[in-house]
Structure 1
Amino acid sequence: MWGTPLIVLLVGGGLFFVVFSRALPYRYLGHGLAILTGRYDNRNDQGTLSHFQALSTALSGTLGLGNIAGVALAITAGGPGAIFWMWVTAVVGIATKFFTATAAVMYRGNDSKGNLQGGPMYVIREGLGRGWLWLAVLFAFAGLCGTQPVFQINQLVAMLRTSIAYPLNLASEESHLVFDAAVGTLAAVCILIVISGDLKRVAQVTAKVVPTMVLAYLVMTGGVLLTNLSAVPDAFALIFQDAFSATAVAGGTLGSVIAIGVSRGAFSNEAGIGTESMAHGAARTNEPVREGLVAMVGPIIDTLIVCTCTALAILVTGVWQSDNGDGVVLTAAAFSSTYGSLGPSLLTVMVIFLSLSTILTFWYYGSKCLGFLIGARYQHHYVWIYCLLIVVGSIGTVGALFNFLIGMYAVMAIPTMVSALLLAPKIMVAARNYFSRLNGE
C-alpha cells in the first residue's frame, strides 16, 4: 500500500497545500498558539470540545507508541535516513493538517441520531455530495480497522514484560501468555471505566495526561542527549547522509527508505490520514479556520520534537546497531545506557500513560466510524468488541499487527487527501476571509 502513488499523494498533496496557500497558514502559527490559550473560546459555539481539548485528544492518538516504538521500528527497518523522511511528512503535514482540520469543521454533518459530527466521512458527504458517498464509506471502514488498539496494547505488554515480569519471575521468555493476557484484561477494564463517560471524559483525561507525559518524556530524552552531547551532531549528519544513500537496510533501495519514513511519519502525526480530523471536528467553534490553525501544532509537537528526541536517543547511544530487539524494547535500551536499571522503569511509566491515552482516543475514532457505517444508535455496542480486541492484542505478534495497521492508514489517506484537495479552493476562500477579518481587528 505504501508505494509511490500513496507517497506522491501524501507528500505531493502536502506540497500542493503549501504552494496553493502560499504558505499562508505557516505565517499564523503564533495565532494558532494564542487560540489554544482559550482566548477565543465561546461556549455558545457549536461543538463539544474546547480548542485545547480537541488538540489534546488528537495528540493522544498520535503521541503514543508511534513516537516511542514506531520511531525505533522505522530505524530498524529503514535505517537512520528514515527519520529524515518522517521530518518531511511533518513539515508538509503542517499545511495538510490546516486544510483537513478546517474542512472537518466547515463540513460537519449530523449522524443518524441527529448529533453534529466531524471527520473525513462527513466532509466527503457534506462537501462533495452523495455521489462521493462510497469514498466516505471507504474511509469509515479503513478507520474502523486502522484504529484498533492491538499495536498499542501489544507494545505496552512487551514493555511491562521486560521491565517487570522477567525481573520478578512473573513470566519467562518461553512462557508469558498468562502475564500478557492478565495485563490486557486489566487494561481493558481501565479503558472501559473511562470510555463509559463518552468523549467528554476522554477529553478531560487526555487534556491532563498528554501535556504532563510529553514534558516528562522530553526531560528524559534530554538527559540522554546531554550525556551523549558530543555524538548529537554526528547523529544528525547520519540521518541526512543515510536519507539519500540507502545503505544495507530496507532492501538497500532509496525508495524503500522513503516509503518506510513516510509511512512511519504518517503513523506518527497522522497528517493526511484523517483520524485526527474526527477530534478536531468536535471542536467548539463556529470559525473552522481557527481549528485548522490549532491542528497545525500537532505535527510540530509530535514528529519534529518528540519523534526527533526518540530518534536521537537511539542513535547517540548506538543501540540501533545492536541486537537489543525492536520497537519499544530498543528505545528502552537507549534509556538504560544513560539511566541504568532506572531507564526502563521511567520509560514504562511513559508507555503506560501514552499507550492508554491513545487507546482511549482510538476507541472514539472507531466508534464514530462504525456509527457512520451502521448507524449511530448501534455504535455503543462497539465498546465490548473494542475491549475484547485489547485482550487479543496483548497476546499477538507485533510485526503482523503493525503491518496491518499501517496498511489501513494507507487506505484512510486516499479519501482524506482526495476530499481535501477537491475542497481546497473553498477552504482557502474561508481562510482569506478569516485572516482579513483578523487583521482588521
Structure 2
Amino acid sequence: MQMVEIIRRKRDGETLPKAVWQYLIDGVVRGEIPDYQVSAFLMAIYFQGMNAEETVYLTEAMWHSGEVLDLSSIPGIKVDKHSTGGVGDKTTLIALPLAAACGVPIAKMSGRGLGHTGGTIDKLEAIPGFQTTLSKNDFLKQVREIGLAVVGQSEGLVPADKALYALRDVTATVESIPLIASSIMSKKLASGADAIVLDVKVGRGAFMPTLERARALAQAMIAIGERVGRKVHVLLTDMDEPLGRDVGNANEVKEAIEVLSGGGDKRLVDLTVAVAARMVLAAGGAGSDEEAREKVLTCRENGSALLKFEALIRAQGGDIRVIREPERFLPAARYEEEIRAERDGWVKAIDARLVGEAAMLSGAGRETKAKAIDLAAGIHLERLRGERVRAGEVLARLFAGSRPIPQVAVERLAEAFTIGDRAQDEKPLIYDIIDASSP
C-alpha cells in the first residue's frame, strides 16, 4: 500500500476498508510511516470524518496494537468505568468502592492528570504508601480476593493510541469524534472488561463543550461496543462547574472519604451513586435502575463501601489511617490564600475551567507529563452555585504544600466566580443516560 494514496482517498471522502486501517496502525506502531504523513491523514479524518464501520476498524486495530489484558480468571461480569475528565472529578474514588461493595468485580487501569483536569492515579498517590504499580499476577489476584484493584495504565497497552494522540495534540485534530471514540474504546477494550460505563462530561471544564457533541461521542462509543460484543453505558453529565467542593489530589481523597462515610455534597453524591448503579446494572447485579440504585445506597449507608475503599488502600500498601483521620495523614498544605466576595448576592456561576487552571497554577496539576505535582495543592470551595454570600465572606481557599501560591492562581480563582442578585434555579447534573437500547 502507498500512504500517499491512502491520504488522498480519505481526503476525497472515501470509505477505507479494514486492511487499510490495520496497515496504518501497524506502520504507526513500528515507526514505518513518517509523522508528516500520519498528520496529513489525521487532518483528512478531521475534515471528512469516518463512518461507523471505519471507526470500528480503527478501534480494533488500536486495541490489538499491544498488550491485551485477560480477565477470564476473575469470576463474574467485569465492569470498567471511565470519565472523559473534569475539575474536581473524584468520581472513580467513590463509584468504584460503591460498585465493588455491591459485588461488581473491577480491574481498573487509570491515568494521570494533564492540564486543568485531574487524574485518578495522582489522587491515589496522595495516600501515603499507596502503590499504583502491580505485577499482572498481583493485579488479577487482588481483584479475585477483594473485588477491586486500581493501577496506572500499562505502557504496553495500546501503543498506537500514544503515538496517534501525540500527533493529534500538535496538529489540532484532538476534537475529531471518531478519533476520540477509538482512543477511549481501544484502551477500555484492551483492559479486558466485559462491560464499560462511561461518564462523558459536558461544559466549560470538559473537552466536550456542547451536549450535541457529547451525545455524538456517546453514540459512537456505544456503536463500537455493539460491534465488538461489549455492553456500553454512557452518562452525559455537567462540567460547567466543579464537581463537589474540593479540587486537588489530597483534597479530593478527603472528599471521597467524606462521601463514602455518608456525607458530602449532594451533586457529587448523586453522580457517584448514578455511576455505581449503572456499573451494578451492567454486571447483572440488578434488574432495574431503581434496584441498582437502592443496592448502591445501602452499601453507602451500611459502611461496606467505605470498608471496600479501606481494603483497596490496605491491599496496595497505603496507610489506612487516612480513612479515619484524613487531615492528619494526607499531605498537608503549608500555604493558603483566600478569595472573598466583593458584594452581597448569590453565587450565579463557578467556571470549572478557571478553577481547574487555578488549581494547576497552585501546583495541583501539570502542564506537561514530565512535571511533578504538589499533592497538597488544591482548592476548597466554601460557596457553591446557588448559595448566598455576603460581602467579605470567603468564597474559596487555595492551598499549596511545596511553594507559595502564585498571584496569577489567586486571580484566576477569583475570576471563576460570578455573583448575581438572585438565587439560581437548580441546574441539571445528569443530562441523559444512554445505552444500546436507547432510542
Q: Which has the higher strand share?
A: 2
Which entry has the higher C-alpha Rg, 1 or 2? 2
TM category, shorter: under 0.3
